[in-house]
Amino acid sequence: MFLRNMLPRKRRVVLGALAAVAAVAVLAGCASSTGKSSGSGSKNYKIAFVPKSLGNNYFKASDSGGSTAVKKFGGSYQEVAPATASPTGQVSFVQTLTQQRVGGIVLAADDPQAACTALNAAMKAGVKVVTFDSDTNCRSLFVNQVTPKGIAKSLVNLTGKALNGKGTVAIESGGPNATNLNLWIKYIKSYMASLYPGITIVTTVYGNDDAQQSLDAATGLLQKYPSLNGIIAPDTVAVAAAARYLSTSQYKGKVYLTGLGLPSEMRSYIKDGTVTQFALWDPSNLGYLAAYADKALIDGTITGKKGDTFTAGKLGKYTVGAHQTVILGPPTVFDKSNIDNYNF
């Protein structure tokens, strides 16, 4: 023991560490050889989709639409995103794409501001930036699913009619900082007050886009307001979790639930009667439109100013509106009669 203590402690040969890391780096090198280098031809149709995070069915659908569109006009498509949504999580991916000299970035922003420096640098380097689903303060064009007012109005109308214009309603949202959700909630409140003054919105709770937290939030909602008449959940994770809770509880059929949901996730709740109707646009069309909008920017056919028009493949002709925004179109309402026709 004594001798061991006498040995200088700092002497360490770490060839092992070196070898290990080198092996990892070689792997990286191998992986890189599969990555193709920059796009050819006169226009750079190398378009990258950056959803809020990986592993979300909604973005899976939207990005597959984007992929279809990009392939259709002969570009190359890629999708990168952080594993979890966080304000600055997308920054390094945007920077990487700029270094890779992609032609366009189509981004659903995690945060309206955090990625701006990176996005501005990208635009300075000639990358055309289009946002979809959730906007940032820095992009050439925003492809919006529906006008925020349109979403709010259709959800308010669904709820108002189902409750015959009176009762108490709560809102269950996703992340507390989601720009689009907060805007919709603002309009839901104002429309509810003006169109259905008999309905009071008691509170807004947040499920943070996590199935378990969303379910706990729905549970707590009905414990605090046992006589609640309705829940509006303008978020796909929240509406599915709230439906999951209601379907197994005494409130099934008594509390009216609607919101923005994915048919694939909501199918069983429509069929068992927990939910009668919910709304959503077709996310794959949204991705498809965003890809064509980016192409139009790359081609130079549009610059993003009001009145510019471009053709988006199978979807037809679109016109840029105020605030450099393109609107996809009215949402679809899903119920028992049509839910089996949709597969996203």
Partner 1 sequence: MSTQTPTRRGAPEWLKAIAKSRELSIVIVLVVILAFTTSAHPTFLFSPDGWREFLRTPSVLILIAVGEGIVIITRNIDLSVGSTLGLTAYFAGYLLSTYPAIPIIIVVLLTVFLGAIMGMINGLLVAFFKVPSLIITLGTLYAYRGIDVLWVGSNNIVPSQLPQSFENFGVDQLGSIPYVMIVAVVVVLITAWFMRNRRTGREFYAVGSDPDAAILYGLPTRKLVLTTFVISGTLTGLAGVIYLAAYASVDSQVGSGYELQAVAAAVVGGVAILGGSGTIWGVALGALLLQTISSALNAVGIPSLWQQAVTGVFIVGAIALDRALFLNSLRKSRSRSVGSSK
Partner 2 sequence: MTATELKGTPVRDYLLHDKPFWRRILQSREAGLIGALVVVVVLSISFVPNFGQPITLTYLVQTNFPIFVMLLPMTLIVVAGEIDLSVGSVLGVSSVVFGLLYDAKFSLVLAAIIAVLIGAGIGAFNGFLVTVVGLPSLAVTIGTLALFRGVAVGLLGTTAITDFPVDITTNLQNTIGASPFPILTIPFVILTIIFIVILQFTSFGRGIYAIGLGHETAHFSGVTVQRTKFVLYVISGLVAAAVGVVFTLEYDNSIGSNGIGDELLVVTAVVLGGVSTFGGRGTVLGAIVGGLLIAVLTSALQLAGVGSNGISVVTGSALILSVIGSRVLEGLTRGRREKKIAAAIGGE
Residues near partner 2, by CB under 8 A: 3-4, 6-22, 24-35, 37, 54, 78, 80-83, 86-88, 91-93, 95-96, 98-101, 111-114, 116-117, 121, 137, 176-177, 182
CB under 5 to 8 A by kind: which of partner 1, partner 2, none does 240 bind? partner 1
Please select the residue that binds partner 1; options are 97, 221, 231, 296, rule is CB under 8 A.
221
| Angstrom distances, CA of residue 121 to CA of 31, 112, 135, 138 | 27, 16, 17, 10
Residue 189 or 252 having the CB closest to partner 2: 189
Of these partners, partner 1, partner 2, none, which one is at the site of residue 24 (CB under 5 to 8 Å by kind)?
A: partner 2
- Rg of the Cα atoms in the chain: 24
DSSP secondary structure of 111-151: STTTTHHHHHHHHHTT-EEEEESS--SS-SEEEESS-HHHH
Instruction: Tell me how far, at minimum, the Cβ of 287 lies from partner 1, in Å.
Output: 13
- Closest distance of CB 216 from partner 2, Å: 16
- Counting Cα atoms < 13 Å in the Cβ hemisphere of 217 gives 29
Please list every residue from 87 through 106 that binds partner 1, using CB under 8 A.
none
Among 74, 220, 253, 273, binds partner 1 (CB under 8 A): 220
| Contact between 119 and 94 (Cβ < 8 Å) | yes
Q: Name the nearest CA neighbour of 162 among 269, 258, 270, 242.
A: 258
CB of 266 to partner 2, least distance (A): 26
Closer of 156 and 241 to partner 1 (Cβ): 241
Nearest residue (CB) to partner 2, 186 versus 271: 186
Q: Which does 212 bind (CB under 5 to 8 A by kind): partner 2, partner 1, none?
A: partner 1
Of 160 and 230, CB closest to partner 1: 230
- Which 3 state secondary structure label does DSSP give 179? helix
Helices 211-224 and 236-247 cross at an angle (nearest 10°) of 60
- Please say which residue, 63 or 282, places its beta carbon nearer to partner 2: 63
Q: Which residue, 12 or 317, has its beta carbon nearer to partner 1?
A: 12
CB 78 within 8 A of CB 21: no
Sheet containing 325-327: give its strands across: 76-79, 46-50, 104-107, 128-132, 141-144, 325-327
220 is in the binding site of which of partner 2, partner 1, none (Cβ under 5 to 8 A by kind)?
A: partner 1
Under the criterion CB under 8 A, does residue 212 sit at the interface with partner 1?
yes
Please list every residue from 225 through 284 that binds partner 1, using CB under 8 A.
Answer: 226, 240-241, 244, 248-251, 264-265, 267-269
Q: Which listed option, partner 1, partner 2, none, makes contact with residue 126 (CB within 5 to 8 Å by class)? A: none
- Which residues partner with 204 through β-bridges? 171
| Residue 176 found at the interface with partner 1 (CB under 8 A) | yes
Strand 46-50 to 76-79 pairing:
parallel
Total length of the chain: 344
Shortest distance in whole angstroms from residue 248 CB to partner 1: 4
Q: Which amino acid is at 177?
A: N
Q: At what angle do helices 148-162 and 179-195 cross, to 10 degrees?
A: 50
Chosen residue from 56, 258, 277, 284 binding partner 1 by CB under 8 A:
56
